Structure 1
Amino acid sequence: MRTDLNLLRILLAVYETGNVTAAAKQLGISQPAASAALARLRHSLDDPLFIRTGTAMEATPRAQGIIERTREVIEIIDRDILTSPTFDPTTSEHEFVFCLSEVGEVVFLPALFERLRQAAPHARVRTISLAPEDLTESLHEGRVDSVLGYFPDLTAPNIYQQRLFSHNLACLIRSDHPLAGKPLSLEAFCALEHLQVRDGSRRQEMFEAHLAKAGIRRNIVLQTSHYMSVPSIIERSDLVVVLPRTVANLYTHRLGVSIVEPPIDMPPYDLKHYWHARFHKDPRSVWLRSLIAELFMSDTVG
């Protein structure tokens, strides 16, 4: 036997109020609709359920035998199924997993971790680096909460994205370099020996493609896969390196290096926040997106 669970609400309301009219008012439906529902339930259970005695409806033994279980079922449905889920960051012990590039960790992680520790003191944070082809599946499976940075290949239709801010590139040379403090011409830029960071990012590919389209060739004498050694190399040589401005700014605050503006008209690129459609309405994801937007959304190029 299959019974519409909504009919059980009629059973409970009639039992609690003592008549169909009052039950209909309690449930916010018409009296004829309540009477029809009660008739359907009587037919399903093959029992009158209630017998009129004067002005009240008296439950039959069958109705009395199932009323408590009916009340339990309705309470469970209302509390655990129909109630909208919530997320309390102050008590959450969730591990937030972010996919960030090396530069993304510099740009996002310090402020993001600080803010998360304030708002969700019991939560943990982990960052990983994944190839673009692995990102969509990891977001879909919930193994990654958010992707932050420049990921132009993350274009699947079930991936949401939100622009946070624009970024651009800068050149870095040692502070006592002969060209420090002077405008850098294209001729001087091409004549210099270059350090190139090939970190596998699409941002680097975009820059190289822009140079190739403009017919600009650099004299690259040193390649590295990471940014960690860049300032130490630059301050001890006459090399120049092109890198994200946020990273360049970080290095100038600590070491004997200086920023010079590149002589190439390089358009800025957008850094974005990506998440999967499966979790778009999830309260934890909604809260996290709001926190990230509050921290990073702006038109600033930096």
Structure 2
Amino acid sequence: MKLDLNLLRVLVAIHDTRNLSAAAGLLNVSQPAASAALARLRHAFGDPLFVRTPSGMTPTPRTDAIIGRTREVLDAIDRDIVAGIEFDPLRAGGEFTFCMTAIAEFVFLPRLLATLKRQAPGMRIRCVSPAPGQLRDGLQDGRIDLALGFYPDLVSADFYQQRLFSHSLVCVVRDKHPFAGPRLTAKEFRQADHIVVRDGSRSSEMLDALLASGRIDRNVVLTTSHYLCVPPVLAQSDAVAVAPRVVAGMFAERYGLRLLGLPFDVPDFDLKQHWHRKFHHDPRLVWLRTLIRREFGDGHLDDLMETLVA
């Protein structure tokens, strides 16, 4: 015998209320719907289950025999399955997997780790940097929860995105660099020794495309795959590097460097969080995205800077 679980809820509601109309109200269904459900139950069990008496709908011996186990089954479903889809950060364990470039890790990880330690102490963080094609697959199959950063390729009906804040690019030099003005001239930019970071970030590609379109050449003396070596090299040379303002500000504060404007206009670019539509309603990721937006949205950008340079 196969039963719709909702029929069992009708059985329990009638047993609790001893009244068909009251049971319908308890379940937020119409009285005819509750009556039809009772008819199906009677047919399935081959028993009237309830009989009308002056004191209400009185259960038959068959109902008395099954009502306890029925309650246990429904309670288990409500507790372990229905309630189980909710996300309780204080009790949850496991791992959040983010796609970030190295520069995004600079921006997000210090504050994110501290926040999760307080609000979801059992959760771990994992960061990956897949190729663009693998990023799409990773978000789709759930191996990656969120992509944080500048990912202009993740634009399709399969992906959601939410803007966090805007980035701008600046030049970074040592504090007593010969370039004294607040902004490099085009001549200074071309003559300078440049440190270029190829860390896979799309902002680097955007800058390269902009320079190529304007036929602006750089005298590149050092190319590296990460930013870790950039501040000490800048501090001991007259080289310059172009970096997002948030990270450049952190370098300047910690290593005694100075920020200069670029000699040409570079459009700001938005840092966003991206996720696959398949997980749009996943309570675990709804909670995570809400936290990311709260901690790293525009209104908290100054706080973020203080965290980075503390």
- Measured against the shorter chain, the TM-score band is 0.7 to 0.9
Deviates further, 118-127 or 266-275: 118-127
Aligned-partner Cα distance in 2 for 1:196–1:27: 65
What residue is the counterpart of 1:243 in the other structure?
243
- For the residue of structure 2 that corresponds to 1:70, the secondary structure is helix
What residue is the counterpart of 1:270 in the other structure?
270
Aligned-partner Cα distance in 2 for 1:19–1:173: 81
Alignment RMSD, CA only? 2.6
Do the aligned partners of residues 277 and 256 (structure 1) sit closer, same or farther apart at CA in structure 2, a change above 3 Å counting? same
Q: What letter corresponds to residue 38 of structure 2 in structure 1?
A: L
Q: Which runs of 5+ in 2 are unaligned?
A: 306-310
Within-5 A mapping of 1:200-239? 200-239=200-239
Q: Deviations over 1:63-94 (max 9, x none)?
A: 33322222223323333344473322223333
Q: Deviations over 1:240-279 (max 9, x none)?
A: 2212222221221122432221101111111111122232
Aligned-partner Cα distance in 1 for 2:38–2:106: 65
Number of aligned residue pairs:
302
Answer yes or no: is the 8 Å Cα contact 1:180–1:260 preserved in 2.
no
What residue is the counterpart of 1:15 in the other structure?
15
1:138 and 2:109 correspond: no
Aligned-partner Cα distance in 1 for 2:29–2:112: 50
Do the aligned partners of residues 136 and 124 (structure 1) sit closer, same or farther apart at CA in structure 2, a change above 3 Å counting? same
**CA deviation after TM superposition for structure 1 residue 221, in Å:** 2.7
Deviates further, 282-291 or 14-23: 14-23
Aligned-partner Cα distance in 1 for 2:121–2:11: 46
With normalisation by structure 1, the TM-score equals 0.88
- For the residue of structure 2 that corresponds to 1:176, the secondary structure is coil
Q: Which runs of 5+ in 1 are unaligned?
A: none
**CA deviation after TM superposition for structure 1 residue 7, in Å:** 2.5
- For the residue of structure 1 that corresponds to 2:254, the secondary structure is coil
What residue is the counterpart of 2:153 in the other structure?
153
Q: What letter corresponds to residue 283 of structure 2 in structure 1?
A: P
Answer yes or no: is the 8 Å Cα contact 1:165–1:270 preserved in 2.
yes
**CA deviation after TM superposition for structure 1 residue 149, in Å:** 0.7
Within-5 A mapping of 1:34-73? 34-52=34-52, 56-73=56-73
**CA deviation after TM superposition for structure 1 residue 127, in Å:** 1.9
- For the residue of structure 2 that corresponds to 1:253, the secondary structure is helix
Aligned-partner Cα distance in 2 for 1:55–1:177: 94
What residue is the counterpart of 2:171 in the other structure?
171
Do the aligned partners of residues 7 and 183 (structure 1) sit closer, same or farther apart at CA in structure 2, a change above 3 Å counting? closer
Do the aligned partners of residues 266 and 22 (structure 1) sit closer, same or farther apart at CA in structure 2, a change above 3 Å counting? closer
Q: Deviations over 1:37-86 (max 9, x none)?
A: 32222223222333445554444343333222222233233333444733
**CA deviation after TM superposition for structure 1 residue 211, in Å:** 0.9
**CA deviation after TM superposition for structure 1 residue 187, in Å:** 1.6
What residue is the counterpart of 1:283 in the other structure?
283
Answer yes or no: is the 8 Å Cα contact 2:101–2:200 preserved in 1.
no
- For the residue of structure 2 that corresponds to 1:98, the secondary structure is strand
Deviates further, 171-180 or 101-110: 171-180
What residue is the counterpart of 2:110 in the other structure?
110
Do the aligned partners of residues 260 and 65 (structure 1) sit closer, same or farther apart at CA in structure 2, a change above 3 Å counting? same
**CA deviation after TM superposition for structure 1 residue 171, in Å:** 1.0
> Larger Rg: 1 or 2?
1
- For the residue of structure 1 that corresponds to 2:66, the secondary structure is helix
Deviates further, 14-23 or 234-243: 14-23
Greater helix fraction, Structure 1 or Structure 2: 2
Q: Equivalent pairs: percent with the same residue? A: 50
Aligned-partner Cα distance in 2 for 1:177–1:26: 76
Do the aligned partners of residues 113 and 21 (structure 1) sit closer, same or farther apart at CA in structure 2, a change above 3 Å counting? closer
What residue is the counterpart of 2:308 in the other structure?
none
